[in-house]
Structures are given as structure tokens and as C-alpha cells.
Amino acid sequence: MRPLRQALDRWLGRGEASITTPPMDGAFRPNDLLDAASTVIATPAPDDLADTTRGLVVSSGRSLLYVHRQAEAPAASFDAEISALAGLPDGGVAAGLVDGRIGFVGGRYEGKTIPASPEVGCITALAAARDGALLIANGSAAHGPSDWKRDLMEKNASGSVWRLEPASGARTQLAANLAYPYGILEEADSIVVSESWRCALTRISPNAGRRGAPLLENLPAYPSRLTRGADDAIWLALFAPRSQLVEFVLSEDRYRRRMIDEIDADYWMAPCLRSGQSPLEPTQQGGVRQLGVLKPWSPSRSYGLIARLDGAYRPTASLHSRTNGHRHGVTSCLASAGRLYFTAKGDGIVASCAYEGSTP
């Protein structure tokens, strides 16, 4: 009966096959806190943040920049774009590159580069483990980090999580078949991963070698990096909103295949880090501009969102940049010295706000 039921549900758009998106309310109640944050740096496509002994650094293209010392030369430059960062306990920083290599800046492994391996070609997030190893989120086995939109539209779930010994360069796979792991956080005896295409946080037990039950499901946006603050609060960046239109496109296989084959990726019916900048974009926002004013509540392909989670990974508060805002495409956030820093990759801004948190 179950396959028949599923087929019927798909046809009628019911139950698990319904084309719906979770509401942004409760802890996700919209506000303008991201837009109210003060700009720290304006730089092209800032992506990830890390704390080092020399201060906070941000990756922007091939460069690693000091957030608070803009006049200084970059902390480092690479010959490929940086796709992920991790602050190391010794004060250095590990940088994952789009070609799969990992470079170290400062600390014990200063100047060292670990070559790419065929299995890890899409480093989306890095985290330092307590024992000195490096945890790697490999978003996809099929595409590189810049091709994330294609990975979503192909509905891939080929991501994996790896453990790397920086000294020897030995890699061990901890989990596979993940739907674009984009954030990684070590717990006492497990690892928590944000799976973007499942819109969920998943716990992985390295010893058991399997994926556990989702910690948090049905998020209203696609999650990216996870960090833990000094007060043990967990911060989750969400880089693009879910929309009914995209969910519909994801359910229509033939349409999606034709779209992938025939249309340039920039103009797909897909989420993006910043929308509304090209007249060639698909006309998804027809009714949202009234008398020249872009309505904040209108459905959009881009958005800015950070969620604060408690110890049980329940959302307790959130910071937003709504449709009419200018801090979209938040790919990372980091709580440091009483402030919350974040990268609005869609708008090319690193900003910060003093945020004490509140419950909805």
C-alpha cells in the first residue's frame, strides 16, 4: 500500500509530497537585525570566518584578510579560491581550497599544504577536532563548491565527512551519502553536520560509522556553517531561503533536467546568494514590488538568516535580512569578544552586531 499511497500523494501534492515550506515564525520570526549590524569590511564574496591569535580572518576569493586590519596586507594568498576555514587551537588557520588542497597559515603547520585527494574535491567546511585532527565536510562527490546550485538541482546526496591528520595527511571517511554537508561541529562523542539539501542538522557518530537521527529538521532555509560561541550557544548560518517555487521545480524532474541542460545556471529557478540584480533573472518576484517599494515579506530567492540554537539544537532566536534587506547570502558567522560577526557573501560584506540573544 505504501508505494501506492506515495504515488497518490505525489499526484495530489499531499503529505510528505506536498510542496510546502516551513513558516518563518516562532524563533524564526523576521526582524531586521542583520541589516542593523555595522559593516566591518566590504570585500568581494566574503565566505568563511576563523579566529586566530592575530585576530579574526575572513576568506575572500584567493585571499585571507584580517577583519579588523583592512589596511594591512592579506594574511595569506593562495593560487586557488578558498572554500572553507578553520581556526586551529595553536592559533593558526587551515584553509580548504576549491581544488581540494588544504593550506595552513600560522601555527604549528605554517606553510604546509596537503594535496588534494580524488575523494575530497568539494571542501565546504573545516573544523579543528580536540585531538588536533581536522574535520572536513566534503559537500559533493560530483561538483566543486562553486557548483553548489547544480548539486542541488541534480538532487545529489553524495557528500561526506572526513577526518584528516595534519601531520601525516592521512584521511579517514566518517560518513557518506550526505546531502551537501556545509557546516561541521564537534561534540563530545559525535559530530553534528548541517545538510543543506535536507534542510536539517544531522548527528554523526564516528565510532558507529553511521548517520544518526536528524537533530533539527524542516528548516525554512538552507543551512551552512555551524559554530559554537563562548557561552555554548550554537550559531547556524543559513545561506538561502526555501521557496515553494524551488520546491516545485525540485519535484518536477523533466522540467529540471531541461533547465539544467538549456539555461545558464545564473538564471535557473534556484536559490541564490543575491537576487534581484539582473533583469534576466526568472520573474519570480512579480507581485512583490508595489509602488516601487520591495515588500519585505515577499518570497525571494535570496535572504539573510542566522539562527541561535540551544544545547539541544532547538532554535531560540534568529537574525534576519529580509527580501528588501542588504545582507543576503550569509554563509558563515562567528561569535567573538561579545559580538557576532557574519559574512553576507551575496552582498560582499562582513558585518558584526552586539547580540545578547533572546527567546521568541
Partner 1 sequence: MTVPPQAEPPLLEMKGVGKDYRGVAALKNIDFDLRRGEVHAIVGENGAGKSTLVKILSGAVMPTRGEIRLEGKRIQIAGPAFARRYGIAMVYQETSLVPTMTVAQNLYLGDEKFFNRLRGTYIEAQQFLQSLNFPVDPTATVLSLGTAKRQMVEIARAVRLEAKVIIFDEPTATLTPEEKHHLFALIERLREQQVSIVFISHALEEALEISDRITILRDGSHIITDDAKSFSRETIIRHMVGRSLTDDLYGRAADGRQSRPAGEKVLSVQNLSMQNVVRNTSFSVFAGQVTGVFGLVGSGRTETARIIAGVAKRDFFHGGDVRFENRSVRYRTPRAAVGEGVVYVTEDRKGDGFFETMSVAENIYIGQISSRDSRGIVASLSETRALAEIWKKKLNIRALSSDPRVIELSGGNQQKVVIAKALVQRPKLILFDEPTRGVDVGAIAEIHHLIGALADDGLAVVVISSYLPEILSLSDRILVSRQGRIVEELSPDEATSESVMFAAVY
- How many residues touch partner 1 under the rule CB under 8 A: the total is 22
- Which CB, 13 or 169, lies closer to partner 1? 13
CB of 132 to partner 1, least distance (A): 38
- Order of strands across the sheet that contains 191-195: 181-186, 191-195, 200-205, 210-216
- Which CB, 189 or 247, lies closer to partner 1? 247
- Which CB, 110 or 217, lies closer to partner 1? 217
Q: Is 23 in the site for partner 1 (CB under 8 A)?
A: yes
CB of 27 to partner 1, least distance (A): 7
Alpha-carbon distance 289 to 283, whole Å? Answer: 12
CB of 77 to partner 1, least distance (A): 46
Q: Is 359 in the site for partner 1 (CB under 8 A)?
A: yes
Binding span for partner 1 by CB under 8 A among 8-16, 57-65, 84-92, 159-167: 8-16
CB of 218 to partner 1, least distance (A): 7
Alpha-carbon distance 88 to 108, whole Å? Answer: 9
Q: Is 288 in the site for partner 1 (CB under 8 A)?
A: no
- Which CB, 19 or 129, lies closer to partner 1? 19
Of residues 224-253, which lie at the interface with partner 1 (CB under 8 A)? 244
Which one among 6, 7, 8, 15 touches partner 1, defined by CB under 8 A? 15
Q: Is 12 in the site for partner 1 (CB under 8 A)?
A: yes
Q: Is 13 in the site for partner 1 (CB under 8 A)?
A: yes
Q: Is 6 in the site for partner 1 (CB under 8 A)?
A: no
Which one among 19, 116, 260, 288 touches partner 1, defined by CB under 8 A? 19
User: By rule CB under 8 A, what string of x and - marks binding of each residue 295-334 to partner 1?
Assistant: --x-------------------------------------
- Which CB, 23 or 115, lies closer to partner 1? 23
Q: Is 26 in the site for partner 1 (CB under 8 A)?
A: yes
The residues that touch partner 1, with contacts defined as CB under 8 A, are: 12-16, 18-23, 25-27, 29-30, 217-218, 244, 297, 359-360
